[in-house]
């Protein structure tokens, strides 16, 4: 309870301080934020719609970090997942398969694409000792260019006018609850993913090994756990979740791919995962908070000079505050690292 209270007070303080630092009228800005995030049913729907990709990519980051793999390439895995999905959509539509099968195939392809992209970084770490934190971010920039290339080249729309892929036919898209708010069936995918990741991490042997490798590699080694294969698997799962996020965005909302396909979801997911203390259930709350902040700040941007980039500041401040609190509270006897 005490920790929850500290977190809430801390996050509120950071939000207020950020608004003050950027010289925004405090009461008005908070009003715009609240209205944009929860003001009416459309605002609430927007908040939920932003929570969806944040949760899925956040879960992806969480799984990798739990295994000690600092995957910061959620963005690239998201993008390559989307590309794989668009490629699958093109082939499956030509093959004239039934619509639900096509949707499933697209989602699976997205997961495979994300997993494959993360697999490159995993291979580099495990076989060549290249830090995941470096390789994944470099792969992000390659992924962005890959998307630009396919959207203007092999996967470009049939009209060949804009650098966008063809729009998915309506029957292939994920079902929506009602026409007004865009709320879609992807929400169930998110809830299922949260539950599955929780069960996997805390109730299965594989999940236990994964956490063990991340928390205490020496104990893992002493118990003959093959850290490399565990880390490799964690990265594949991580990439698959980021790819799934892209699949849901693609088949539920965007319907096509272009340069603006990812709104930095893979990037925003890192602080979302960190603030949840790498716990899947808390991650849902963390994603909801930043989802609300995202849709709120879109509203803020209409009335003030500040916009969605404020989220980065708030996220960064929250992570740093979190880190500082934990370091200060950490009174355990210090383990000094031996060679």
Partner 1 sequence: MEPLVVLQFAAPVAIAAVGETVCQRGGIINIGLEGTMLAGAFFATLTSLATQNPWLGILVGIAAGTIVSLISSWFTVKLAADQVVVGTAINLLAMGVTSTLFRSRFGQSGQLLSVPGLKPFAVIPYLGPIDGVVLFLLLSIPLVRYLLWGTTWGLALRASGEYPKSAEAAGFSVGKLRVGAMAIGGLFGGLAGAYLSLGIAGTFAENMTSGRGFVAIAMVTFGRWRPGFVFAAALLVGFAESMQFRVQTLNLHIPFQFLVAAPYILALLVLVIVGKGSVAPAALGVAYKREK
Write out the residues near partner 1 by the rule CB under 8 A.
22, 70, 72, 124, 128-131, 133-135, 137-142, 145-146, 148-149, 152-153, 270-271, 274, 301, 305-307, 309-317, 319-320, 323-324, 326-328, 334, 336-337, 339
What burial letters (b/e) apply to 84-108, b meaning 16+ CB within 10 Å? bbbbbbeebbeeeeeeeebbebbbb
Residue 19 CA to residue 305 CA, distance in Å, equals 11
Contact 43, 36 (CB under 8 A): yes
Contact 234, 118 (CB under 8 A): no
Nearer to partner 1 by C-beta: 285 or 319? Answer: 319
Please report how close the Cβ of residue 149 comes to partner 1 at its closest, in angstroms: 4
Please report how close the Cβ of residue 191 comes to partner 1 at its closest, in angstroms: 27
DSSP label of 308: T
Please report how close the Cβ of residue 73 comes to partner 1 at its closest, in angstroms: 11
Contact 16, 27 (CB under 8 A): no
Residue 78 CA to residue 68 CA, distance in Å, equals 20
Nearest to 66 by CA among 229, 208, 252: 208
Nearer to partner 1 by C-beta: 251 or 297? Answer: 297
Please report how close the Cβ of residue 306 comes to partner 1 at its closest, in angstroms: 6
Nearer to partner 1 by C-beta: 123 or 198? Answer: 123
Q: Which two tokens stand for residue 105?
A: 């195939």
Nearer to partner 1 by C-beta: 99 or 325? Answer: 325
Q: Compute how many other C-beta atoms are within 10 angstroms of the C-beta atom of residue 288.
A: 18
Its sign, for the CA torsion 277, 80, 44, 174, is negative
Please report how close the Cβ of residue 301 comes to partner 1 at its closest, in angstroms: 7
Please state, in angstroms and as integers, the Cα–Cα distance from residue 13 to each residue in 2, 19, 319, following that order.
16, 10, 13
Please report how close the Cβ of residue 302 comes to partner 1 at its closest, in angstroms: 10
Please state, in angstroms and as integers, the Cα–Cα distance from residue 242 to each residue in 199, 247, 291, following that order.
19, 9, 17
Please report how close the Cβ of residue 324 comes to partner 1 at its closest, in angstroms: 6
Nearer to partner 1 by C-beta: 103 or 135? Answer: 135
3-state DSSP assignment of residue 126 = helix
Nearer to partner 1 by C-beta: 107 or 118? Answer: 118
Nearer to partner 1 by C-beta: 40 or 131? Answer: 131
C-alpha triplet 133, 139, 142: angle, nearest 5°: 155
Question: Is residue 253 left, alpha or beta, with left meaning phi > 0 and alpha meaning psi from -120 to 50?
Answer: alpha
Nearer to partner 1 by C-beta: 145 or 216? Answer: 145
Please report how close the Cβ of residue 267 comes to partner 1 at its closest, in angstroms: 8
Please report how close the Cβ of residue 248 comes to partner 1 at its closest, in angstroms: 24
Nearest to 136 by CA among 152, 148, 118: 118
Nearer to partner 1 by C-beta: 103 or 136? Answer: 136
């Amino acid at each position: 309870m005490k920790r929850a209270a500290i977190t809430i007070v801390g996050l509120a303080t950071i939000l207020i301080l950020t608004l003050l630092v950027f010289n925004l009228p405090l009461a008005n800005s908070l009003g715009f934020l609240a209205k944009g995030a929860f003001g009416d049913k459309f605002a609430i729907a927007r908040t939920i719609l932003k929570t969806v990709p944040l949760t899925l990519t956040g879960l992806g980051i969480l799984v990798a970090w739990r295994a000690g793999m600092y995957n910061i390439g959620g963005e690239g895995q998201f993008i390559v997942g989307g590309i794989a999905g668009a490629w699958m959509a093109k082939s499956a539509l030509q093959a004239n398969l039934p619509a639900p099968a096509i949707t499933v195939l697209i989602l699976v392809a997205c997961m495979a694409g994300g997993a494959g992209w993360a697999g490159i970084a995993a291979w580099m770490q495990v076989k060549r000792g290249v830090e995941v934190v470096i390789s994944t971010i470099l792969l992000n920039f390659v992924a962005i260019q890959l998307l630009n290339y396919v959207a203007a080249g092999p996967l470009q729309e049939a009209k060949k006018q804009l650098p966008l892929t063809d729009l998915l036919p309506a029957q292939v898209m994920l079902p929506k609850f009602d026409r007004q708010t865009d709320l879609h069936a992807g929400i169930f995918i998110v809830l299922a993913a949260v539950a599955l990741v929780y069960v996997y991490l805390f109730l299965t042997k594989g999940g236990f090994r994964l956490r063990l490798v991340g928390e205490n590699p020496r104990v893992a080694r002493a118990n003959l756990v093959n850290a490399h294969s565990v880390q490799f698997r964690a990265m594949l799962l991580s990439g698959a979740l980021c790819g799934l996020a892209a699949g849901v965005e693609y088949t539920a909302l965007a319907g096509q791919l272009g340069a603006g396909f990812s709104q930095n979801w893979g990037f925003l997911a890192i602080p979302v995962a960190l603030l949840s203390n790498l716990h899947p259930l808390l991650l849902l709350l963390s994603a909801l908070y930043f989802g609300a902040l995202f849709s709120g700040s879109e509203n803020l941007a209409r009335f003030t000079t500040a916009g969605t980039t404020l989220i980065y500041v708030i996220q960064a401040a929250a992570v740093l505050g979190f880190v500082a609190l934990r370091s200060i509270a950490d009174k355990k006897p210090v383990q000094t690292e031996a060679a």
